[in-house]
Amino acid sequence: MRAVDNVDISVGEHEFVGVAGESGAGKSTLALGMLRLLTPPGKVVSGQVLYRGADILRMDQEQFRKDYRWTKLAMVFQGSMNGFTPVFTIGYQIKEVLTLHEKEGTDATVRKLLGMVNLDESIAARYPHELSGGQKQRAFIAMALALEPEVLVTDEPTTALDVITQVNIVNLLKGLRKDLGISVMLITHDLALISEAVERLYVMYAGSVVEEGSSDEFFAKPKHPYSQGLLSSTPTLSSHEIKGIPGFLPDLANLPPGCRFTPRCPFAMEVCKREYPPFKGVGEERVACWLY
C-alpha cells in the first residue's frame, strides 16, 4: 500500500510552506518519512530527501541522529500534546535534548526557550499533565527550537485546540520565522489556517501532490478540482452554504491507474480514468490535472 507517491516538495530558506489535504492523504506519513521515523511495516521505498544537497535518507543512522534530527530539522507532531514523557518535568526534558547534543542545558537556556513561545519559566518545573493543551503544544515547540534548527515541520499543530489558541500558535510560528529565520512547513487539513500564514503551499490528495502554488495565486484561483472543492467546503464569514466534496478517499491499497480524484471529480473525463496526469506548470502554479 502506497501512502505517499509522486511527491516533489521543496522548502526554501526562511520560507513558510503549507501542505494541505484531508486526513489520510499521506501528509503525516510524508513528514515521518522525512525524519526517518517510519516504523515497520512502513518504510521508504524510493526517493530522496535532500537537505542542502545531502540525502538524509541514505545517511548513516548515527550521523543522521546526531547531526540532522532535531539539530537541523525538527518536527512538531500531531500528537505533541502527548509528546512529552509523562514522568519527567518539562525543564528536565528540554535540558535533556540540549545535553544529549552537547549543548549547555542550563536553566537560563530553558527560560529563554520558554520565553520564545510565550511561556513562563515556572512551566519548567511542571509535569506534562499539569499543562493545558495549548501550553503543552507551545512547550513542545520550545523543545523543538532548542537546538536552533533550520527547518521546523509542524504536523497539525492546532488540532484539538480551541480557536483562540490555534490563532496564537500560528502567530507564534509566523513570529518565529520572522525572528529566527527558520523555515516552517505547516501540514494541516485546515485551509483557513494555511491561508493565514503560508507563502506557498502544496495540496495533497490520496498520497500525491496535485497542486502547488503561491498562497495568493492559490486562494484567488485554485486550479485542481479537488482544491476548488476544498475551498468551497471551508466556511468563511461570507459563505452562506458549505459545499462538501461527495464521495470518500480512495482505498490506498487499491489505487486506480488514472487520476485518483476521478470518482469524485465533477469534471472527470475518459483520460482521467486511464492515465495519471503529469504535474506541469499552469500559470504560476503547477497542477496535476488533465483539464490543463
Interface ranges with another protein (CB under 8 A): 35, 37, 65-66, 69-71, 74-75, 77, 79-80, 82-88, 96-97, 100-101, 127, 129-130, 140, 143
Q: Please tell me the chain's helix, strand, coil percentages from 3-state DSSP, rounded to the nearest 5.
A: 35, 15, 45
Nearer to another protein, 45 or 87 (CB): 87
Q: Cβ closer to another protein: 80 or 183? A: 80
Least distance from another protein to the Cβ atom of residue 279, Å: 30
Smallest distance, another protein to C-beta of residue 149, A: 11
What's the CA gap between 183 and 112, in Å, rounded? 20
- Strand runs labelled E in the chain: 16-20, 50-51, 54-55, 73-76, 151-155, 183-188, 200-205, 208-214, 279-282, 285-288
Report the nearest approach of another protein to the CB of residue 5 (Å).
23
Chain CA centroid to CA 99, Å = 27
Q: Write down the least CB distance from residue 160 to another protein, Å.
A: 12
To another protein, the closest distance from the beta carbon of 81 in angstroms equals 8
User: Which residue number, 77 or 290, has a Cβ lying nearer to another protein?
Assistant: 77
Find the DSSP H helices in 84-187: 90-100, 107-116, 133-145, 163-180
Question: How far is the C-alpha of 10 from the C-alpha of 200, rounded, in Å?
Answer: 10
Question: Three-state SS across 53-65?
Answer: CEECCCCCHHHHH
List of residues 6+ apart from 284 with CB closer than 8 A: 213, 214, 217
Q: Which is nearer to another protein, 93 or 208 (CB)?
A: 93
Q: Which is nearer to another protein, 163 or 253 (CB)?
A: 253
Whichever of 71 and 159 has its CB closer to another protein, that residue is 71
Instruction: Work out how close the CB of 290 gets to another protein at its nearest, in angstroms, rounded to a whole number.
Output: 37
Closest contact distance (angstroms) between CB of 125 and another protein is: 12
Cβ distance to another protein smaller for residue 38 or 249: 38
What span, in angstroms and rounded, lies between the C-alpha atoms of 227 and 224? 5
Residue 134 and residue 168 in contact, taking contact as beta carbons nearer than 8 Å? yes
